[in-house]
Structure 1
């Protein structure tokens, strides 16, 4: 689980300061305010960590098949404040003692640009067990390897450049001698934490009338939810202890949202094609013939049960095309699944209904400030600004930002004023 994030001079952010990340973290705010940049920073590191080229310092994307995002070039990532230095940095802490020898650790890296325009690591710092290890760029592409508070480098030269941002080179590991194993373990723990990220974007595929199945379990659902149906087919058709686990979880939440009673996988004759059947009020319909909201929320429900335990699921606008009651139920989904499966949810949303239900869950003590964090992002000049929403034990927000979900109270006052004016006019 990621526990802290900080961005400096990254896209819309001049400096986020330390952002506390909880098992459920919600990001709210206006369009183009900078919410997506927070999410994209972790996805940028994820696609760098899995790059086939180990010598790459930062993979800004461009491969439509393998990359999550195309970030453009250095200037597209760099914050455009006039007095900002031509460096940006990403830092995070993590805590996942259940699945790694390194229980807790930290990562921080600053990036610059070479004369040829390439993005290059300036300084990368890995932290764990009270220790820290740095690789700092010197002239002509050489790097110095420093440990803790030592003033003199353990090694320096061109062979000590970091790999895929998060790992020290084999030469650097060897130069660190007894500390080399700790650095190797730490790099592996950071890589695994990034690999555990699962991202589902706001644009998801429309349903088909039927689907083929290759009798295998997909690796992931994809950023557009393309693998969600394959995950459902595998859940229903592959024998084992977890057969129908995903299907049953999805059915349960479709029912709680009030959009369906259950979901069924049905084979078409003796062919290798299958259809998804939605049951509601005694009527069975093909997924293609029901409202678009069900097909759009389906990947959200699937990934919640298909993702390996301990994963971090990043969601953009999970509420899209859902009616208000179903949007509200998403809050219950995130709280329950996070607690049940050890899943971390980072959610970008515009849904007032989802947020209001979170307030209610906090008031009912079904969620707490130790399990959840909510932030409002707004624009301040060319840069973004983050407001931590202070919510008391009764779910009340102590520091409502201006323009938060519009002005509902003002609208009510205006409606009342107009009503009284018309009543007064009708009696004269």
Structure 2
């Protein structure tokens, strides 16, 4: 992990072109983790429980369990205040998570609050597609001027690892950093805690994951056998946190391993067994709101319910998990500009994306899966690249991102971009060192 620069060092680095942001207190130490689905699960207290009296109680109980909210600001320091419940079109939500431990001895003492998980959810205006982008924690990016808890603002930094942004200026700084990197407006955000993952996995009765071989990671305490595993509680958390146990031992392997879990979680939440069970539905809502610190714009049951209503009918084959394009550079990674421009141009233009690459170094297609397997030749339209070149047309935006469309408006991503859909059943790959 990179060491945070001192105030003197940051003053010596270049300042951003925009003005300073308004005062914003740094987040207190938390021990957040993933998944972006958590902030949306809270909405089931409003839209997912069939009995009116239970729904009324659940709405009240979930609403009172919200943690104190965080103000987001734009590049000029203005507080972001989107309309409550206005989910008529496309929207973006950022979820940050930290490995700080928050004082919980079970997670060890790290002394820093770093956003080792940063994910962005983009839901299309027609509510038919959802794209979740994972940003590698060790990716070098510019960090803009961010709020200083003591007043005023920190100077901008031209090149720092993205996982320093949460410690540098709180959740607002992470949002500003991702906005600068992607060119997207992000009005909603949250920070999820370690314990939230445990409670969510417990609420659905565990998440089934496929493992291609035995995985043992003494750093997180993970020990799973090859084959199908139902993970919940501390084992689910250890599975999401493991880096040394999967792929090449890098954070990139951990991202694709997390996507194995998240895809299965989507399938579990969308299953009739979960949606028809008020106890599971309420448990998800309670777990989410009790363990996630939300931006003020999202700290409202009606807003979250509006998001859930927009997402509830999205086909799982149209839920795409993708790793932000990158390449190794020095002691971390750097954005792969052309590939990243293609991905971000698609999201800015509100176009769905088609994956053609593999699922990443930490996972592989499940050879026994009845649903789509290999990402390059799947059976679902959401990930299948067109085979007839005459059906493709280039697409561009003002930022210069280029790709191709397949006749349905979907942008075909280069094979160097890794990811999977929620419809693909994949397996985690043990560490190969």
Q: Work out which of the two has the higher radius of gyration on C-alpha atoms and give 1 or 2.
A: 1
Q: Same fold (TM over 0.5)?
A: no
In proportion to residue count, which structure has more strand?
A: 1
Measured against the shorter chain, the TM-score band is under 0.3
Greater relative contact order (CA < 8 Å, ≥ 6 in sequence): 2
* TM score, norm. by length of structure 2: 0.22
